[in-house]
Amino acid sequence: MAEKGVRIEVEGPVAIMTVSRPEKLNAFDIDMLKALASACDTVEANADIRVAILTGEGKGFSAGGDIKAWGGMSANEFGHQWVRFGHRVFDRLATLRMPLIAAMNGHALGGGLELAGAADIRIAESQIRIGMPETSLGMVPGWSGTQRLVKRFGAQIVRRMVLGGEIFSAAEALQNGLTDMVVETGTVVSAAKEYAARIATRGPAALEISKLMLAVANGEDNGAAVEALGSILVAKTGDLKEGVAAFSEKRAAHFTGEW
């Protein structure tokens, strides 16, 4: 199945989402952001999917935001239609219920690294480069480069990329915790599938709840994660069943504290 700009393939319990705009090194425009949000909804709605993989078509993982897509925007349009909307889409990706693996088949710069940063596991091919070059254009990271990336990678390494403009090789990225594994060129999707198969053998409910708990521990999405955990717990109680039944039968509920 496919959305404009994002292709979805399902192999058993694994969904592979491929960002598909190879002529632009998979740089994002508004349509691609919308397609990514829709792809997240599609993958999450499939109860059989336990792990997702995100990769790019062609030689690039993602070159980030397409300058032509935002270069002519007014300040108000840029802040709301581009930055805030893109932020919401990447947040949606980061909060998928299932573990997400970024299969980084090409360079991940700026928004491309923010995209990879939304994943739980990052596997990179040996030839790629990683960095945050926004300040060289007179702009700042806008899709959680100074927020999520700091929480996940640490402030100092992000400072080196954002303030110093440092670009890291795959080996340097691995050494600095920006990626979790480096593999040979052309093998990252197969490596990601192998890792996904490993995850898929584990309890799906435990994986989902563990991901929420890790998000809380890391200071990410605390409110939604805590409420989701609480709601999952309460949904399994006898008291909730009694409350719903009482409402339907138009009578007073008789709660017993049954878990």
What is the distance between the alpha carbons of residues 232 and 142, in angstroms, rounded to a whole number?
32
- Name the average pLDDT for the chain: 91
Q: Which residues are designated catalytic?
A: 114, 134
Q: Has residue 35 got a pLDDT over 60?
A: yes
Q: Has residue 153 got a pLDDT over 90?
A: yes
Q: Which two tokens stand for residue 154?
A: 């640490």
> pLDDT (tens digit, 9 = 90+) per residue, 62-120?
998 887 878 787 888 888 888 888 899 999 999 999 999 999 999 999 999 999 999 99
> pLDDT (tens digit, 9 = 90+) per residue, 188-222?
999 999 999 999 999 999 999 999 999 988 888 77
**123 bridge partner residues:** 103, 181
In the chain, the amino acid numbered 166 is E
- What is the model's pLDDT at position 4? 67
How far CA 61 is from CA of 122, 136, 245, 258, in Å, comes to 12, 21, 50, 50
* Number of Cβ within a 10 Å radius of residue 227: 11
What is the distance between the alpha carbons of residues 148 and 108, in angstroms, rounded to a whole number?
16
**210 bridge partner residues:** none
> pLDDT (tens digit, 9 = 90+) per residue, 218-243?
888 777 778 777 888 888 888 888 88
